[in-house]
């Protein structure tokens, strides 16, 4: 399939470093997309208190303008024949054959991401005006959000793996800063650190992948690597693929590096919506979709991507069923939905479907997170769903928005999730054989579980009796918050339909990720599969409704539960495992080494020094009359030099 | 202009400044500080002018001067810089004024103006210090020595500077340091003298070996043209290497650094770790590799093992430290592992990365030491455990601490990333396993930085520090240029790589190695590029 991607690259494939057409016209200002939010962040960070009053509005404005410019660029790209343009900015790292340019690649894939990031980003910025209105440090909040948007845009616009890496760690930094925004809470600080470290583990994979690319192909630019992907041996392609996957797992919260994502909910809710649901955590999917030409040479790595996705989607679903914290449920839901994307992006020709799900998920998950934020705002920051109930009537707009997101995620037609999730299940089954049946069935089971835990969330939050704390007086949020929620709700309803109308997204993305997989004979006919999916979804909904909608919900979590529920509540013991396998031994190792370094190596050297110096008494005397002794030593040394040199001179 | 003795001028100006400062009346400490700062700024300006005149594509050594010094054994006063020495001299010129301004009150007999009320158990009682002007004069003397050691192109002259450099640093640690300063200063001195002794033996041996070939010389240029027998190379290499490894310091020669770094006054610690230690890694590239190519090639794999151990060991130990300054010292041991790896991986990318790393580490660790110095001056404690939630009262201090920390963990966008990645990618092409192990170091780096940041800056505010004042303008002014430089060089390192790469290419040619070609491209396509 890499041959099919060749037209995207300009002629001259005989050269090792392929290249894209140069950006011109209105596209030559693409750097502004990144520069605008970066400037916003810089002004807010350096401007100090002077910017307190207007700073948040500036933060919104930079992203809003970037969105408008993103739209203009999108239509410019659509209007021209070259569907991939490169903007060379400057020479970044030139050391002989290792030559990295700072440049941007604007193609259908990156243009799609630009719209998602700036569009959803802008809405969430506006929402934050209301959500963070009473926080004395909101100027910094907007600075960090702007920084995030800039880094995320660099991630999707960079034209080399190294430029991507800068954005990749940049979003990690912004994520750290925002999770730890309320740094005085130890839990927030710990969660932020955990997120950064888990990401760094993934980054090791990404950096080594880049090193392998340079060692084997002598380049790290997308153009160079992809046009030479044909030279890769299967082993090299598999190695690169798996290393990239490690990076993707870290960033996207996939098994086994998924445990940081639920903890990241310590950050303010707009952060959870933007970074930990709609955009940053999907960067792993972007990375793998972007690297399609490499994955085309390694079936093994593709399979592993799908398996990781399948495992993660199950883990996320199972844990999500037992959580009582509304944000944790949504977080595990994100983990699991990104699992779907990984499952899809691993399937040959299904990358566009993964991106489709990424986009629809961006809408409905952001919508649900912002609605959850609206609820927390109304309930004195309460997150325990056992203390909710009956909110349907007091917060009608929030309820309506959340419902739109809910119907989208469980995949009810014609809501957006139906179009994307259904396609993933179909693509999985169409793989055929054991692989297809296993992946497809996992995806199907996941759909049922998703319906279950989301219905549970709806029932516990919006229906049933009011189990509120005594001082809770819930009220609907102001327009500055509900406005963005409603727009995202509209997106949750229509995005799937619009994006698949006439295969729109599929065709649009073809120059970037290759053509879709044409299947002659489906494993299961799509109509049957759709009906089957709807059936299991209905099963999940009914089961949850019977359990949580029809019966009263206890205000505290029941103690007498099955071991499965207990395991799910404890997040399947992954944290305990990390603690006992990595953290504790690490601490012991560190302590032992500190001891050894003081007693062992340093002690040995000290003893040696004392021995040479004629016992420790000599050492002590050195410390007392140190000036004289030192001068003497120096003088003696110098005399020795001269004498020795003269001796040599005379001797020869 | 080309015949103007730039290097001699830049080297002598601080020495004259030191004499002026020490001649000033004892009761005018403020004047001594101002004069010293002015002199260091003059050196900075001169250095910038000189750097502007350096031609990246010109001869290997520029601003060359040579005069007979001790004709009896061919020792010359010979100076000149290649791109490597040039950027390190520039680093010296940038760091000294920064350090002087940062140390403004550090030599004062009175308590630091920022110091808070003494709290029970959380205090450092510094022993009395020598005079203020002596401190500033010593700093300037040190600057002369540091410039000289990088500028020397005569091995004997280099050795003299290498040893003489110890004297001012010894007094800076021993007379202005913390409670255990005597121990630390003597330990520093003994280690260094031991290394110096080995180097002296090797220097003499080098002379003998050159004399045996009919050309008794210390001139670097002439020495590189000689071919020594394999066994001679190994012995001489080891002499130089161990001296440099102690200075750098590489594992297992590192144990003096945590003591010296912790006990030295902050300004001294910055110059010690930021510059003096670089003489070791500079020595690898300048002397070990070109003079003893066979020995270098033979011993490189063993040295790389030491470097990898250093990377992981330093990072793990940094995590376990309770003392902030010791912690930074151990992070430096990890960083020196990276630099050593870059020097001995024998690719131009790794070696260029190593040189860049030397510069960036000077800026990065400098910033980190300085910010920690500000914190310790306020809190009167070096112990991590005494602090908590400082960001609540001193957000600017916390912010600068964080950014300095990010540079230490080599976040992309900051210059340290460029150098670290160059070292890693360059090493990978020849030693993939070593590079992969070193890459694990980037996780550990994130751990040691974020752990200490969380423990000191985040969380609830420690009761003892509710009155802590945030940074003053002077203090921000000190760190800001370092951070601005790191940001600029993070996105645009080309001005540095352009001058470093030719020097590195020449060094690799001396060693007799070529960069590996891309393994999966056919030979013909490689050549066409």
What string of DSSP letters covers A465-493? S----TT----PPPHHHHHHHHHHHHHHH
The whole-number average pLDDT for the span B350-363 is 95
Nearest to B356 by CA among B339, B331, B337, B341: B339
pLDDT digits (tens, 9 = 90+) for A423-452: 999 999 988 889 999 999 999 999 999 999
Chain A environment of B69 (Cβ under 8 Å): none
Give the orientation angle of helix A283-290 with respect to helix A138-157, to 10 degrees. 10
| B72 near A CB under 8 A | yes
Residue A506, pLDDT > 70, answer yes
Residue B525, pLDDT > 60, answer no
Chain A environment of B352 (Cβ under 8 Å): 95
A314: confidence class by pLDDT, cuts 50, 70, 90? very high
Ranking A258-267, A579-588, B435-444 by mean pLDDT, the lowest is A579-588
Q: Are B106 and B296 in contact (CB under 8 A)?
A: no
Cβ-based neighbour number of residue B184 at 10 Å: 23
The whole-number average pLDDT for the span B420-446 is 94
Tell me how close the Cα of A504 comes to any Cα of chain B, in angstroms: 36
Q: What are phi and psi of A384, to 5 degrees?
A: -80, 115
Asked if B461 lies within 8 A of A184 by C-beta distance, the reply is yes
- B436, closest residue in chain A (CA to CA): A208
Share of chain A above pLDDT 90, in %: 60
Q: To the nearest 10°, the Cα dihedral for B361, B364, B366, B369?
A: -120
Asked if A201 lies within 8 A of B443 by C-beta distance, the reply is yes
Chain A environment of B411 (Cβ under 8 Å): 169, 173
User: Both ends of chain A: CA-CA distance in Å?
Assistant: 74
Asked if A648 lies within 8 A of B208 by C-beta distance, the reply is yes
Q: Which pair of structure tokens corresponds to residue A255?
A: 């098994």
* Beta-strand relationship, A21-22 and A85-95: parallel
**Helix locations, A12-54, DSSP H:** 31-47
The whole-number average pLDDT for the span B213-218 is 82
Q: What is the pLDDT of residue B189?
A: 85
Asked if A652 lies within 8 A of B189 by C-beta distance, the reply is no
A641: confidence class by pLDDT, cuts 50, 70, 90? low
Asked if A622 lies within 8 A of B529 by C-beta distance, the reply is no
B442 lies in some domain: yes
Identify the residue with better confidence: A646 or A379.
A379
Residue A572, pLDDT > 90, answer no
A618: confidence class by pLDDT, cuts 50, 70, 90? very low
Instruction: Quote ipTM for the complex.
Output: 0.92
Nearest to B3 by CA among B78, B63, B85: B63
Residue A19, pLDDT > 80, answer no
Please tell me what DSSP assigns to residue A79: T
Q: Are A168 and A177 in contact (CB under 8 A)?
A: no
Nearest to A500 by CA among A521, A520, A526, A522: A526
Nearest to A567 by CA among A318, A374, A343: A318
Strand order in the sheet with A85-95: A21-22, A85-95, A98-106
Q: What is the CA radius of gyration of chain A?
A: 29
In A75-132 the beta strands, taken as DSSP E runs, fall at 85-95, 98-106
Q: What is the pLDDT of residue B239?
A: 92
The whole-number average pLDDT for the span A472-485 is 89
Alpha-carbon distance B345 to B340, whole Å?
8
Average pLDDT taken over every residue of chain A: 86
Name which of A95, A197, A652 is nearest B447 (Cβ-Cβ): A197
Alpha-carbon distance A195 to A551, whole Å?
38
B271 lies in some domain: yes
Query: Which residues 6+ apart lie within 8 Å of B76 measured at CB?
Result: B66, B67, B68, B69, B154, B156, B157, B218, B219
Identify the residue with better confidence: A2 or A551.
A551
Chain B environment of A606 (Cβ under 8 Å): 187
Name which of A176, A208, A605 is nearest B439 (Cβ-Cβ): A208
Query: Which residues 6+ apart lie within 8 Å of A465 measured at CB?
Result: A389, A390, A552, A553
Q: What is the pLDDT of residue A514?
A: 84
Asked if B349 lies within 8 A of A95 by C-beta distance, the reply is yes
Q: What is the pLDDT of residue A260?
A: 93
Residue A500, pLDDT > 90, answer no
Nearest to A121 by CA among A101, A103, A99, A147: A147
Asked if A169 lies within 8 A of B406 by C-beta distance, the reply is no
| B375 near A CB under 8 A | no
B126: confidence class by pLDDT, cuts 50, 70, 90? low
Burial A181-205, CB ≥16 within 10 A → b, else e: bbbeeeebbbbbbbbbbbbbbbbbb
Chain A environment of B521 (Cβ under 8 Å): 16, 216-218, 228, 231
The whole-number average pLDDT for the span B210-214 is 85
The whole-number average pLDDT for the span A310-318 is 94
The whole-number average pLDDT for the span A282-298 is 94
A610: confidence class by pLDDT, cuts 50, 70, 90? low
Q: Are B36 and B140 in contact (CB under 8 A)?
A: yes
Residue A166: strand, helix, or coil: helix
B36: enclosing H helix or E strand? helix B29-52
Name which of A14, A183, A633 is nearest B458 (Cβ-Cβ): A183
Tell me how close the Cα of B310 comes to any Cα of chain A, in angstroms: 12
B360 lies in some domain: yes
| B348 near A CB under 8 A | yes
Q: Are B512 and B297 in contact (CB under 8 A)?
A: yes
Sole residue written with tokens 């079936």 = A299
Asked if A98 lies within 8 A of B442 by C-beta distance, the reply is no
H, E, C per residue of B186-208:
HHHHHHHHHHHHHHHHHHHHHHH
Identify the residue with better confidence: B229 or B126.
B229
Residue B450, pLDDT > 90, answer yes
Alpha-carbon distance B69 to B75, whole Å?
6
Q: Are B512 and B293 in contact (CB under 8 A)?
A: yes
- B181, closest residue in chain A (CA to CA): A623
The whole-number average pLDDT for the span B404-423 is 94
Alpha-carbon distance A245 to A342, whole Å?
10
Q: Number of structural domains, chain B? A: 1
Chain B environment of A93 (Cβ under 8 Å): 418, 421-422, 493-494, 497
Residue B95, pLDDT > 70, answer yes
What string of DSSP letters covers B420-455? HHHHHHHHHTT-HHHHHHHHHHHHHHHHHHHHHHHH
B527 lies in some domain: no
A113: confidence class by pLDDT, cuts 50, 70, 90? very high
- Taking the CA atoms of B186, B189, B192 and B193 in sequence, report the sign of the dihedral they define: negative
Give the orientation angle of helix A396-410 with respect to helix A351-378, to 10 degrees. 150
A624: confidence class by pLDDT, cuts 50, 70, 90? very low
Please tell me what DSSP assigns to residue A15: S
**Cis ω before B249 (30° cut-off from 0):** yes
Chain A environment of B389 (Cβ under 8 Å): 183-184
Sole residue written with tokens 């070939």 = B213
Q: Which domain range does residue B131 map to?
A: 6-518
Cα A454 to its chain centre, rounded Å, is 22
Tell me how close the Cα of A451 comes to any Cα of chain B, in angstroms: 38
Asked if B320 lies within 8 A of A591 by C-beta distance, the reply is yes
A576: confidence class by pLDDT, cuts 50, 70, 90? confident
Asked if B406 lies within 8 A of A173 by C-beta distance, the reply is yes
**Helix locations, A545-583, DSSP H:** 563-569, 574-578
Q: Which pair of structure tokens corresponds to residue A625?
A: 């009359």
A3: confidence class by pLDDT, cuts 50, 70, 90? very low
User: Both ends of chain B: CA-CA distance in Å?
Assistant: 39
Please tell me what DSSP assigns to residue A54: T
B388 lies in some domain: yes
A625: confidence class by pLDDT, cuts 50, 70, 90? very low
Query: Which residues 6+ apart lie within 8 Å of A124 measured at CB?
Result: A145, A270, A273, A274, A278, A366, A370, A484
| B376 near A CB under 8 A | no
B79: enclosing H helix or E strand? strand B75-81
pLDDT digits (tens, 9 = 90+) for A324-354: 999 999 999 999 999 999 999 999 989 999 9
Counting every residue, how long is chain A? 652
A221: confidence class by pLDDT, cuts 50, 70, 90? very high
Tell me how close the Cα of A243 comes to any Cα of chain B, in angstroms: 12
Q: Are A372 and A409 in contact (CB under 8 A)?
A: no
**Cis ω before A414 (30° cut-off from 0):** yes
pLDDT digits (tens, 9 = 90+) for A518-549: 666 787 888 899 999 999 999 999 999 998 88
Chain A environment of B435 (Cβ under 8 Å): 208, 211
Alpha-carbon distance A230 to A129, whole Å?
50
CB within 8 Å of chain A, chain B residues 312-331: 313, 316-317, 319-321
Tell me how close the Cα of A642 comes to any Cα of chain B, in angstroms: 9
Q: What is the pLDDT of residue B467?
A: 86
Share of chain B above pLDDT 70, in %: 96
Q: What is the pLDDT of residue A489?
A: 94
Counting every residue, how long is chain B? 529
Distances (CA, A) of A108 to A69, A115, B174, B231, B270: 15, 11, 64, 62, 49
A616: enclosing H helix or E strand? helix A615-624
Q: Are A220 and A274 in contact (CB under 8 A)?
A: no
B264 lies in some domain: yes
Alpha-carbon distance B406 to A173, whole Å?
9
A487: confidence class by pLDDT, cuts 50, 70, 90? very high
B260: enclosing H helix or E strand? helix B256-263
| B528 near A CB under 8 A | yes
Q: What is the pLDDT of residue A554?
A: 83
Cβ-based neighbour number of residue B383 at 10 Å: 16
Chain B environment of A623 (Cβ under 8 Å): 182-183, 186
Cβ-based neighbour number of residue A409 at 10 Å: 29
Asked if B211 lies within 8 A of A165 by C-beta distance, the reply is no
Q: Are A477 and A377 in contact (CB under 8 A)?
A: yes
A510: confidence class by pLDDT, cuts 50, 70, 90? confident
pLDDT digits (tens, 9 = 90+) for A137-195: 999 999 999 999 999 999 999 999 999 999 999 999 999 999 999 999 999 999 999 99
Tell me how close the Cα of A32 comes to any Cα of chain B, in angstroms: 16
- A643, closest residue in chain B (CA to CA): B204
B213 lies in some domain: yes
B370 lies in some domain: yes
Residue A371, pLDDT > 90, answer yes
Query: Which residues 6+ apart lie within 8 Å of B298 measured at CB?
Result: B230, B234
Identify the residue with better confidence: B310 or A595.
B310
Residue A571, pLDDT > 90, answer no
Q: Are A450 and A315 in contact (CB under 8 A)?
A: no
């Amino acid at each position: 399939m890499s041959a099919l991607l060749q037209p995207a690259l300009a002629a001259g494939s005989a050269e090792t470093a392929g290249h894209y057409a140069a950006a011109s016209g209105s596209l030559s200002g693409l750097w502004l997309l990144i520069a605008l939010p970066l400037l916003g962040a810089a002004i807010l960070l350096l401007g100090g208190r002077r910017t307190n009053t207007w700073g948040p509005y500036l933060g919104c404005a930079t992203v809003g303008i970037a969105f408008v410019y993103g739209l203009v660029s999108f239509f410019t790209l659509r209007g021209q024949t070259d569907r991939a343009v490169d903007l060379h900015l400057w020479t970044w790292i030139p050391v002989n054959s290792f030559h990295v340019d700072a440049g941007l690649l604007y193609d259908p894939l990156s243009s799609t991401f630009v719209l998602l990031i700036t569009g959803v980003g802008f809405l969430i910025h506006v929402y934050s005006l209301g959500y963070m209105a009473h926080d004395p440090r909101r100027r910094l909040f907007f600075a960090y959000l702007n920084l995030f948007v800039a880094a995320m845009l660099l991630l999707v616009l960079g034209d080399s793996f190294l430029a991507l890496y800068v954005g990749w760690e940049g979003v990690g930094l912004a994520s750290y800063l925002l999770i730890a925004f309320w740094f005085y809470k130890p839990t927030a600080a710990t969660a932020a650190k955990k997120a950064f470290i888990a990401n760094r583990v993934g980054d090791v994979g990404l950096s080594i992948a880049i090193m392998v690319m340079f060692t084997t192909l002598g380049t790290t630019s997308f153009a160079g690597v992809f046009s030479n992907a044909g030279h890769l041996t299967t082993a090299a392609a598999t190695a690169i693929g798996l290393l990239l996957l490690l990076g993707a797992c870290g960033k996207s919260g996939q098994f086994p590096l998924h445990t940081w994502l639920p903890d990241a909910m310590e950050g303010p809710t707009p952060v959870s919506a933007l970074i930990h649901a709609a955009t940053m955590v999907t960067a792993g999917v972007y990375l793998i979709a972007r690297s399609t030409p490499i994955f085309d040479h390694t079936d093994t790595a593709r399979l592993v991507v799908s398996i990781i996705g399948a495992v993660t989607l199950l883990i996320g679903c199972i844990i999500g069923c037992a959580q009582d914290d509304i944000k944790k449920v949504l977080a595990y839901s994100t983990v699991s939905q990104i699992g779907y994307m990984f499952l899809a992006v691993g399937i040959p020709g299904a990358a566009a479907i993964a991106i489709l799900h990424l986009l629809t998920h961006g809408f409905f998950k952001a919508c649900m997170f912002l609605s959850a934020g609206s609820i927390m705002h109304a309930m004195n920051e309460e997150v325990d769903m056992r203390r909710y109930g009956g909110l349907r009537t007091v917060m009608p707009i929030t309820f309506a928005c959340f419902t739109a997101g809910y119907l989208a995620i469980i995949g009810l037609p014609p809501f957006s999730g139906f179009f994307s999730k259904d396609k993933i299940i179909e693509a999985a089954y169409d793989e055929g054989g054991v692989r297809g049946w296993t992946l497809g069935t996992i995806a199907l089971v996941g759909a049922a579980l998703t319906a279950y835990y989301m219905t549970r969330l709806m029932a516990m939050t919006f229906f049933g009796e009011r189990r509120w704390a005594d001082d809770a007086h819930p009220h609907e949020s102001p327009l500055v918050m509900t406005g963005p929620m409603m727009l995202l709700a509209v997106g949750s309803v229509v995005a799937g339909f619009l994006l698949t109308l006439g295969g729109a997204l599929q065709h649009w993305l073809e120059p970037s990720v290759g053509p879709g997989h044409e299947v002659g004979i489906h494993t299961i006919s799509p109509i049957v599969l759709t009906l089957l999916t709807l059936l299991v979804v209905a099963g999940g909904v009914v089961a949850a409704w019977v359990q949580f909608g029809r019966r009263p919900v206890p205000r505290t979590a029941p103690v007498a539960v099955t071991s499965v529920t207990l395991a799910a509540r404890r997040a399947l013991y992954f944290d305990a495992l990390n603690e006992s396998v990595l953290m504790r031994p690490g601490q012991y190792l560190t302590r032992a080494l500190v001891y050894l370094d003081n007693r062992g190596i340093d002690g040995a050297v000290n003893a040696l020094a004392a021995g040479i110096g004629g016992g420790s008494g000599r050492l002590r005397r050195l410390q007392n009359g140190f000036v004289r002794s030192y001068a003497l030593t120096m003088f003696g040394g110098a005399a020795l030099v001269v004498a020795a040199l003269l001796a040599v001179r005379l001797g020869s | 202009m080309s015949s103007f003795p730039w290097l001699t001028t830049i080297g002598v100006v601080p020495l004259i400044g030191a004499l002026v400062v020490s001649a000033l009346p004892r009761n005018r400490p403020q004047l001594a500080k101002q004069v010293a700062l002015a002199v260091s700024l003059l050196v900075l300006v001169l250095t910038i002018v000189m750097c502007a005149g350096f031609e990246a594509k010109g001869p290997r050594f520029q601003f060359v001067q040579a005069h007979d010094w001790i004709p009896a054994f061919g020792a010359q006063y010979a100076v000149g810089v290649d791109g490597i020495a040039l950027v390190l001299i520039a680093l010296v010129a940038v760091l000294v004024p920064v350090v002087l301004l940062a140390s403004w009150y550090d030599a004062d007999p009175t308590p630091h103006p920022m110091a808070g009320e003494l709290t029970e158990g959380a205090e450092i009682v510094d022993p009395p210090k020598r005079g203020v002007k002596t401190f500033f004069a010593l700093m300037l003397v040190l600057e002369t020595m540091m410039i000289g050691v990088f500028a020397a192109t005569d091995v004997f002259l280099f050795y003299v500077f290498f040893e003489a450099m110890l004297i001012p640093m010894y007094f800076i640690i021993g007379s202005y340091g913390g409670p255990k300063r005597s121990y630390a200063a003597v330990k520093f001195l003994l280690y260094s003298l031991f290394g110096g002794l080995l180097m002296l033996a090797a220097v003499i041996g080098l002379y003998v070996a050159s004399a045996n070939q009919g050309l008794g010389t210390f001139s670097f240029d002439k020495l590189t043209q000689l071919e020594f027998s394999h066994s001679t190379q190994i012995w001489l290499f080891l002499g130089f290497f161990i001296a440099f490894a102690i200075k750098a310091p590489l594992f297992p020669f590192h144990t003096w650094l945590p003591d010296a770094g912790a006990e030295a006054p902050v300004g001294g610690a910055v110059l010690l770790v930021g510059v003096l230690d670089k003489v070791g890694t500079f020595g690898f590239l300048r002397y070990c590799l070109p003079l003893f190519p066979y020995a270098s090639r033979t011993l490189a794999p063993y040295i790389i093992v030491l470097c990898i151990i250093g990377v992981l060991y330093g990072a793990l130990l940094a995590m376990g430290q309770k003392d902030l300054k010791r912690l930074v010292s151990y992070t430096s041991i990890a960083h020196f592992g990276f630099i050593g790896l870059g020097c001995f991986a024998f690719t131009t990318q790794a070696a260029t990365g190593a040189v860049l790393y030397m510069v960036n580490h000077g800026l990065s660790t400098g910033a980190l030491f300085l910010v920690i110095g500000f914190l310790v001056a306020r809190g009167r404690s070096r112990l991590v455990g005494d602090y908590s939630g400082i960001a609540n009262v001193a957000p600017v201090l916390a912010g600068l601490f964080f950014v300095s920390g990010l540079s230490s963990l080599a976040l992309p966008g900051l210059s340290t990333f460029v150098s670290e990645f160059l070292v890693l990618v360059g090493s990978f092409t020849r030693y993939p396993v070593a590079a992969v192990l070193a890459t694990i170091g980037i996780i550990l780096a994130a751990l040691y930085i974020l752990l200490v940041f969380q423990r000191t800056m985040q969380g609830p505010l420690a009761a003892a520090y509710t009155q802590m004042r945030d940074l003053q303008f002077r203090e921000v002014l000190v760190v800001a240029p370092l951070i601005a430089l790191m940001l600029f060089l993070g996105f645009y390192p080309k001005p540095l790589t352009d001058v470093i790469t030719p020097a590195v290419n020449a060094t690799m040619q001396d060693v007799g190695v070529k960069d590996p070609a891309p393994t999966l491209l056919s030979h013909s396509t490689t050549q066409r590029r």
